[in-house]
């Protein structure tokens, strides 16, 4: 069973939290890694396939080769599958497809994006405590893996505490709290003091999330909030070595290692480019040669050439060909 105390956690990030990035974060010290949020409607149209060539388990849309979620044995004990849902039975149906290959299942209750809210998912759930109770208890009673959820702060701090207490009563293993409210933007400071109110009120582990950009911030937010563990999103996206107690690895080396992992695990080119663009935008500009070259890249081979990893790409490709011939 997953232990949620004293952990450094990679937050769920759409189009970023795929297998290569999760493994990259773990390599640098992340104890728990969340996948990107995937909607239950999408998962129930999928089937589980073992990919012998890559050594992965793939959740693939039926009748296609479109991989919706990919994992591997190396991350089995730390990867959390995060789901968007607004219906208990649909959530269970989706979770049953993935639960044998992940360490835990998390329900997104904090996403403020319109695609999530319009479907009654994400932050839309924050105003529906009965539905939250129904979804979480249904998953808890029917699955053998830990169930958790991630919320945002409500308008009134006391309302957040009350909701957190109701969530705790469902039997979830932990609760992640993003220290911002739904209308807040990323530039608005995270309200660590309001996370502290939740942590003080609960006996289950609380995972604090918001404004962690350096390794030292992990301890700072712990000290202020009293949270059991700490989750980081943008700080990890910009440089995944934020998890390393030995200090950050140079940005250029982190990007190159991400490209190598994307090649090794045959990551979707759109996802790989999106993540690289996010990394580049923070430290540089997409209008410079590197950014323009990433935008123009159409394949992982193009990215391998751009980052000086042609030999590695050829080595992986040849190994894959041999595996396919077996």
The predicted structure's pLDDT at residue 186? 87
So what's the pLDDT on residue 241? 98
pLDDT digits (tens, 9 = 90+) for 262-286: 999 999 999 999 999 999 999 888 9
Mean pLDDT value across the chain: 96
Partners of residue 107 on adjacent β-strands: 83, 149
> What pLDDT score does 242 carry?
98
The answer to whether residue 13 scores a pLDDT higher than 90 is: yes
Task: Look at residue 305 in the predicted model and tell me its pLDDT.
Answer: 98
pLDDT above 90 (res 119): no
When pLDDT is averaged across residues 288-303 and rounded to a whole number, the result is 97
Per-residue pLDDT at 58: 98
Locate all alpha helices (DSSP H) within the chain, ordered by sequence: 19-28, 40-43, 88-98, 114-117, 129-142, 157-168, 192-201, 215-225, 234-238, 251-264, 269-283, 289-296, 300-306, 310-325
- Helix 251-264 × helix 310-325 angle, to 10°: 20
pLDDT digits (tens, 9 = 90+) for 26-76: 999 999 999 999 999 999 999 999 999 999 999 999 999 999 999 999 999
Q: Residue 113: what pLDDT?
A: 82
pLDDT at 112 over 90: no
In the chain, the domains with their CATH numbers are 8-243 (3.20.20.70), 251-325 (no CATH)
Q: CA-CA distance, 312 to 67, in Å (whole number)?
A: 23
Determine what percent of the chain is predicted with pLDDT higher than 70. 100
Q: 128-149: per-residue pLDDT in tens?
A: 999 999 999 999 999 999 999 9
Task: Give tens-digit pLDDT for 182-238.
Answer: 999 889 999 999 999 999 999 999 999 999 999 999 999 999 999 999 999 999 999
As to burial, measured by CB atoms within 10 angstroms (0-12 exposed, 13-18 middle, 19+ buried), residue 68 is: middle
Is residue 111 annotated as part of the catalytic site, yes or no? yes
β-strand pairing of 206-209 with 104-109: unpaired
pLDDT at 324 over 90: no
Sign of the Cα pseudo-torsion (218, 227, 19, 180, in order):
negative
The mean per-residue pLDDT over the stretch 163-174 comes to 98
User: What's the pLDDT at 118?
Assistant: 78
| pLDDT (average), residues 281-309 | 95
pLDDT exceeding 90 applies to what percent of the chain?
Answer: 93
Q: Burial-class residue 187 by CB neighbours within 10 Å (0-12, 13-18, 19+).
A: exposed
- pTM of this structure: 0.97
Which residue in 163, 162, 175 sits closest to 204, CA to CA? 175
pLDDT for residue 11 is more than 80: yes
Q: Out of 46, 72, 99, 111, which one is annotated catalytic? A: 111
């Amino acid at each position: 069973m997953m232990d949620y105390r004293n952990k450094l956690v990679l937050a769920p990030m759409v189009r970023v939290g795929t297998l290569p990035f999760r493994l990259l974060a773990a390599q640098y010290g992340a104890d728990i890694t969340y996948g990107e949020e995937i909607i239950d409607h999408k998962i129930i149209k999928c089937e589980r396939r073992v990919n012998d060539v890559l050594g992965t388990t793939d959740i693939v849309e039926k009748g296609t080769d479109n991989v919706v979620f990919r994992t591997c044995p190396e991350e089995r004990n730390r990867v959390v599958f995060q789901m968007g849902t607004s219906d208990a039975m649909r959530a269970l149906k989706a979770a049953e497809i993935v639960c044998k290959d992940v360490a835990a299942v998390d329900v997104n209750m904090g996403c403020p994006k319109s695609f999530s809210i319009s479907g009654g998912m994400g932050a839309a759930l924050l105003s529906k405590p009965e539905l939250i109770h129904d979804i979480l208890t249904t998953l808890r009673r029917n699955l053998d893996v830990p169930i958790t959820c991630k919320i945002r702060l409500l308008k009134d701090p006391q309302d957040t505490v009350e909701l957190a207490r109701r969530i705790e009563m469902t039997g979830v293993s932990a609760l992640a709290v993003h220290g911002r409210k739904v209308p807040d933007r990323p530039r608005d400071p995270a309200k660590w003091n309001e996370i502290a109110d939740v942590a003080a009120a609960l006996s289950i582990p609380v995972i604090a999330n918001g404004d962690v950009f350096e390794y030292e911030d992990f301890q700072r937010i712990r000290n202020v909030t009293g949270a059991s563990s700490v989750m980081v999103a943008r700080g990890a996206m910009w440089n995944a070595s934020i998890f390393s107690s030995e200090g950050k690895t140079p940005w250029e080396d982190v990007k190159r290692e991400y490209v190598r992992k994307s090649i090794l695990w045959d990551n979707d080119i759109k996802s790989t480019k999106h993540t690289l663009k996010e990394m580049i935008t923070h430290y540089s500009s997409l209008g410079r040669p590197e950014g323009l070259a990433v935008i123009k890249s159409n394949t992982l081979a193009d990215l391998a050439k751009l980052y000086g990893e042609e030999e590695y790409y050829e080595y992986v490709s040849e190994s894959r060909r041999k595996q396919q011939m077996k």
